[in-house]
Amino acid sequence: MNFSILLLTIIILGVIYLIVIYNQFVALRAGIDASWSDIDVQLKRRYNLIPSLIETVKGYSQYEQETLNKVIEARNSALHAKGVEESASAETMLTQSLGKLFALAESYPDLKANTTFLKLQDELANMEEVIQNARRYYNAIVRDYNAKIDSFPDLYVARKYHFTPRTYFELEEGEQRAMPKITF
């Protein structure tokens, strides 16, 4: 009688433990999806700001069409990117293009003094900070989720229910480590 109660208790505790582990995976996965959605919203706000910035610059830099076209092309690529890896690559290209655009402003003193340009530049800088924070949060949840997938005994639940590792949202290797070269 005592043995059967002990065995039943162990089985019940084991089932409860599996349920808790499964629910933790589900909660982490939902957190990843929600944080990616937050990043996506901020990126779309950024994309919507870029055409206004380009229109402001167009009036001052008639001879810099190539730079403006690269920014537009990078924005369109980023806007249509699917998934974390493609978005990260497109964001790297867009960030580099915007850096060249702001470096271009150095060549046009009237543009640097334009209040619309300065306002848009400040908004974009603030948005970059928000995106960076959202990306940091997303990567932290992905780190926790991926660590849980590889942790014993959680890895057995992860394998059984097909919880697979997620990709970090990172800039390309060169963008993270090297400062952009700006020449005038």
The pLDDT tens digits of the residues spanning 19-44 come to: 999 999 999 999 999 999 888 888 88
What residue ranges define each of the domains in the chain, with the CATH number in brackets? 2-159 (1.20.1440.20)
Question: What does 63-74 look like in DSSP terms, one character per residue?
Answer: T-HHHHHHHHHH
Tokens 């206004």 belong to residue: 52
Residues whose CB is less than 8 angstroms from the CB of residue 40 and which lie 6 or more positions away in sequence, other chains included: none
Mean pLDDT value across residues 78-86: 81
**Taking 90 as the threshold, does the pLDDT of residue 86 lie above it?**
no
Residues whose CB is less than 8 angstroms from the CB of residue 60 and which lie 6 or more positions away in sequence, other chains included: 108, 110, 111, 114
- Count the neighbouring beta carbons within 10 Å of the beta carbon of residue 34: 12
Closest by CA to 87, choosing from 39, 138, 34, is: 39
Predicted pLDDT of residue 180: 44
Angle at 48 between CA 46 and CA 50, to 5 degrees: 70
Predicted pLDDT of residue 60: 62
Mean pLDDT value across residues 104-115: 68
pLDDT tens for each residue of 123-134: 888 888 888 899
Residues whose CB is less than 8 angstroms from the CB of residue 123 and which lie 6 or more positions away in sequence, other chains included: 49
pLDDT tens for each residue of 132-183: 899 899 999 999 999 999 889 888 888 988 998 998 888 665 444 444 443 3
Is residue 62 very low, low, confident or very high in pLDDT (cuts 50, 70, 90)? low
Global pTM?
0.70
Predicted pLDDT of residue 111: 66
Report the distance separating Cα 43 and Cα 37, nearest Å.
Answer: 10
Tokens found for residue 128: 């970059």
